[in-house]
């Protein structure tokens, strides 16, 4: 899977996903240090990547514009979680949500939960 990891998540998460065989860039690696969320979405759309974030605002932005891409994988309640815990959460759920992400969705992963909303959302 191709990911663009938001600045609010560690670059080590990007490294771990890369090590697991995914095509991953962290926002810092592509000079998106102070970029607004809309710019991050557009960058992900142009490069055909799923936005991986801990920021709930992306779903709202996609709904407001009725966009059908890019997909967003939103990790809920990540404060205090170690990178290896986040990697385990993503890898445990990715087989179940990868088709939805490939088709255009907002996927929310949390403690024992996964919620999928197809794009465009309303």
Strand segments, DSSP code E, in 27-120 are 50-53, 72-75, 105-110, 113-118
Query: Are 106 and 59 spatial neighbours (Cβ–Cβ below 8 Å)?
Result: yes
CB atoms within 10 A of CB 102: 12
Domain boundaries, the chain: 2-118
Cβ contacts of 107 within 8 Å, gap of 6 or more: 71, 72, 73, 74, 97, 100, 101, 114, 115, 116, 117
Q: What percent of the chain has pLDDT over 90?
A: 89
| Confidence band for 115, pLDDT divided at 50, 70 and 90 | very high
Q: According to the model, what pLDDT value does residue 70 have?
A: 98
Query: Are 62 and 106 spatial neighbours (Cβ–Cβ below 8 Å)?
Result: yes
pLDDT of 122 higher than 90: no
Strand segments, DSSP code E, in 17-112 are 23-26, 50-53, 72-75, 105-110
Token duo for residue 6: 């938001």
Q: According to the model, what pLDDT value does residue 111 have?
A: 79
pTM of structure: 0.95
Q: According to the model, what pLDDT value does residue 63 have?
A: 92
Residue pLDDT, tens place only, 62-85: 999 999 999 999 999 877 889 999
Q: What are phi and psi of 3, to 5 degrees?
A: -120, 150
Q: What is the average pLDDT across 6-30?
A: 97
CATH number of the 2-118 domain: 3.40.50
């Amino acid at each position: 899977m191709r990911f663009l990891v938001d600045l609010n998540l560690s670059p080590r998460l990007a490294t771990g996903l890369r090590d697991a065989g995914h095509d991953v860039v962290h926002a810092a690696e592509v000079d998106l240090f102070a970029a607004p969320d809309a710019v991050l979405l557009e960058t992900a759309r142009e490069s055909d990547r799923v936005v991986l974030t801990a920021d709930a605002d992306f779903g709202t932005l996609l709904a407001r514009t009725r966009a059908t891409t890019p997909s967003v994988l939103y990790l809920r309640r990540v404060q205090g979680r170690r990178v290896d815990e986040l990697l385990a959460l993503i890898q445990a759920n990715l087989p179940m949500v990868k088709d939805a992400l490939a088709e255009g969705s907002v996927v929310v992963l949390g403690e024992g939960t996964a919620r999928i909303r197809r794009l465009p959302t309303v």
